[in-house]
Chain A
Amino acid sequence: MSNTLWSDRQGDDWRTKVGLAEMLKGGVIMDVVTPDQAKIAQDAGAQAVMALERVPADIRAHGGVARMSDPKIVEGIQSAVSIPVMAKCRIGHFVEAQILQSLGVDFIDESEVLTPADDQFHVEKRSFKVPFVCGCRNLGEALRRIGEGAAMIRTKGEAGTGDVVEAVRHLRTVIGEMRRISVLPKEELMSTARDLGAPYELVVEVAERRTLPVPNFSAGGVATPADAALMMQLGAEAVFVGSGIFKSNNPERRARAIVDAVAYYNDPDKLAKISEDLGEAMSGMSSSAMAEEERLAGRGW
């Protein structure tokens, strides 16, 4: 058995995939549904955009089956901006992923926000040239996705609610579990891997390095600059904002304020200024009042 860690044994394209995720640390990735919104996001300082047909709040309101966006929407957004463009495929829908790769999106989000296409299996992500980001609620789920080839992890939160509580819970869970396994003696790691439902080699790596092998971002429920800074202070390395920007009443200002808040997440004096006079945030819905079947975060196996 080699004594190198899992990450050190990955091939060349692993480094370019995780490398792009590294380039996206410390910034904000914004959901957009039109080229105009993509430009607003870029002009506000977004480091990447997620091209969608509907933001999560509208997916909830619309009901029915949520699928990959029309390629026309993705292409329109790609030609409108110079920053990376991401897009979502359904969980397990490897043909949607193939189509998104063919369109040349920079990251594919295999996302619980869309209706799952497979209720047991995720996409095998290693065979794709384009990197994947996947959601998680805990360390086991994060390591299963990384084992399948995800080059970026985002904690799920509860998308489309504007309520940050689930994002906090998921991030604290992942970080707490990493902290816990980092102090375990080696002989306990195999049973821990079994209990987490995670690949043993990845558990060994996390125990040694005390961090995930790929960047760990936060998503799902961020609506204000303070929410974004909260996630950063808790240990997220970047923030996804979905409905929070274009469902607010002044998207330009709010987008810029959230970018500034992530840059200065540790500076309360600056955060106070940044949070001033932004107009109404998205009204949102409390995630604790939601029925279990309305929750998106439970999707993922």
Chain B
Amino acid sequence: MRIGVLAFQGDFARHINAVTGHGAEAVAVRTPEGVERSDAMIIPGGESTTIGMLCERFGLLEVIRDRIAGGMPVFGTCAGAILLAREIVESDQVRFGSLDIGIRRNAYGRQRESFEADIELASGGTFRGVFIRAPKIERVGTGISVLGSLDGNPVLIARDGIWAATFHPELTADRRIHAEFLEYAATVATGV
């Protein structure tokens, strides 16, 4: 199974480390062909405007959108979650728009307000969340599961193969969330 990590900008290298550390193959993706060759993708943290713009300029936007619609598993963290959202509050920026959620950028404030906190997982237990100029999911469409929350707000959600986190699991050493996504992706890739 090959995990394509969108590598225009942001902390894609941290995701590549997380995936390879889990024993899967990870490749940096910057071209439409790279998208086509991926069994699943990760959209990293970074600046969502920059990443979206480069996807549009270099022909990746439609390809990624179509692959997601065709069932390719995808995991977006922070900026990646913003790019997956159908609705971005007060913004008309370029996006994939694959997930029926409403999200607000920089909802906690500027970098001064960035923080760490323990997230409550729906499966039980907690996960250390690093929130950096993080967005907030303000609306969750039907059929979407909340897998993790902070103070009652959803911060990790999924619908089938589309996963989104408003924090950065790639910045901590705990690989549980990556492992779960990769296990899901493997079942899709092998058609089990």
Contacts and interface: CB of A to CB of B under 8 A. Distances in A.
Interface of A: 12, 15-16, 19-20, 22-27, 42, 45-48, 82-84, 101, 104-107, 129-131, 259-260, 263-264
Interface string B39-68: 000000111011001100110000000000
A19 B57 CA distance: 27
A23 B47 contact: yes
Secondary structure of the B contact surface, majority rule:
loop
A47 B91 CA distance: 16
Contact of A45 (B54, B116, B133): B54
- Which 9 A-B pairs have CB atoms at the shortest separation, nearest pair first? A106-B111, A22-B11, A16-B114, A47-B47, A27-B9, A26-B9, A104-B110, A47-B50, A45-B53
A33 B107 CA distance: 26
Contact of A20 (B8, B54, B132): B132
Contacts of A16: 111, 114-116, 130-132
Contacts of B30: 263-264
B133 A84 contact: yes
Given A84-B111, A104-B110, A263-B54, A26 B49 contact: no
A274 B45 CA distance: 25
Contacts of A84: 47, 110-111, 133
A25 B11 contact: yes
A295 B12 CA distance: 36
B177 interface: no
B69 to A, nearest CB: 25
B14 interface: yes
A12 B49 CA distance: 27
A164 B45 CA distance: 30
Contact of A47 (B9, B58, B106): B9
